[in-house]
Amino acid sequence: MKKMRRGFALALASAMVLLTACGGSQGASGSAAPADTQATQAPEAGKDSAAAADTTAAAASGEVIKIGCPQPLTGTNALVGDTTVKAAQLAVKQINEQGGLLGRQVELVVYDDQASPEEAVKIATKLIEVDKVDVVCGSLISSCVLASGQFFEEAKIPCIGTGLSSTWMKQGWEYVFRACPNAGMGMPALAEYMKNLGIDRIAIFQGQDDSSASGAEDMRNACKDAGIEVLTSETYVEGDTDYSGQIAKILNSNPQAVFTSTFSPTQAPFAKQLRQFGYEGLVFNKETLSIDNIKVAGDAGNGYCFMFPYVTYNSVDEIQDPMMKEFSQAYFDEYGAMPYHDCAYRAYDSMMVLKKAIEIAGDTDGEAVKNAILTIKDFETLGGIQDFTKGDGEGMSLENFKPWIVWGGLQIDLNEWLKTDDWTAMKEQMGL
């Protein structure tokens, strides 16, 4: 339900590369990223030469299906962006190995949006005017989707964003969708969860980006409805590493729990500093913690809770869900490491929805694909069942969300943890 187009043709075609299986280098401007397209790779030895020739001819004639993929590949969000792109690359590889889409190979067109709304607008123009992409698997940075969405809307190019903010899905766009969690959906459930635990006073620590700011606002609204008092809301600036001033104000307000709405790179440092100041209670987060953040935080990460459809894992052996296990194994086989962040799941689910929609449409026409997305229902993905027939552009619903807690380096079922002696001890510390 959303899309766009704007007519300023920027001449930066040379900065674009086709995506390579491992990720690649930025161009001189910092905008272009690794390029990887199975469509233009040389055929492996032993492959049918006629099929290889057909693929080459299709690529040369522009018959490949192009999927734009703007993500943050430099700066503080580079690691998160990298795993997002790798998951999208994996999806492209699997699709092409299975014969492509509509008998055509798929090409992923990757750019580095630098987590910058201004850069996102420039890239949207390139994707539309220069690269002429068919669909877009958009940025995990919600402010970038918010800035670029109108361009895809006007161009009638279906875009599935991978960010969590509730803001950009309220624009009334018809060609912009989401196949991953809307963090705002989980806030009322999380607030009710707090209330049921006896928590009625919290403090908030938040960033200033759209996702963090909207997540904090969603929580404030949810707390108001649940009868929970927000004692203080402290803000940091991206790039800050010392949060002692904000933490002092948070603890001086005497909260029963702390809620954080931040970018991923902030999570582990804040957790460690919060515990160093003596806070021993639960910390509620707007999204899952990445496995690397959990490792960096160590014991300071214990007691971090969230309401979210999925979590990250240390190894494939930990995973029980068959679909998640299969994806994680494929990712590990391809890159030699587990997905760094749940953004990988978001990207992969988004790519699978785009694949499904193009198959249903039988075409890459923007309106046809958009209409096809609106028919998708009961479609199983890593994050749960996708249903776009509600007409709000959201594939996921609250039914996919589950309560989790970080404990002992793992992300485990919060309901089960509440039955343990660890919760009994923490309850006493929190005065509940």
CATH number of the domain to which 353 belongs: 3.40.50.2300
Q: With contact defined as beta carbons under 8 Å apart, do 355 and 91 qualify?
A: yes
Predicted local confidence at residue 62, as pLDDT:
52
Same domain flag for 142 and 276: no
Nearest Cα to Cα of residue 80 among 352, 295, 344, 286: 344
Burial of 311 (0-12, 13-18, 19+ CB in 10 A): buried
Give the distance from CA 133 to its chain's centroid: 21
- The one-character DSSP state at 340 is S
Assess whether 356 and 367 both reside in one domain: yes
Show the tokens assigned to 4. Answer: 């766009």
**pTM metric for this prediction:** 0.83
Based on the fold, state whether residues 109 and 192 are members of the same structural domain.
Answer: no
Structural domain tally of the chain? 2
pLDDT at residue 1 greater than cutoff 60: no
Q: Mean pLDDT throughout 304-314? A: 94
Same domain, 157 and 192: no
28-39 pLDDT, tens per residue?
233 344 333 333
Residues in the chain, total: 432
Contact 388, 169 (CB under 8 A): no
Inside any domain, residue 3: no
* Arithmetic mean of pLDDT, 306-312: 93
**Which of 58-62, 91-95, 180-184 comes out lowest in average pLDDT?**
58-62
Query: Residue 70 sits in which domain range?
Result: 13-181+328-399
Establish if 2 belongs to a structural domain. Answer: no
Q: Are residues 208 and 81 in the same domain?
A: no
Tell whether the model's pLDDT for residue 47 goes beyond 60.
no
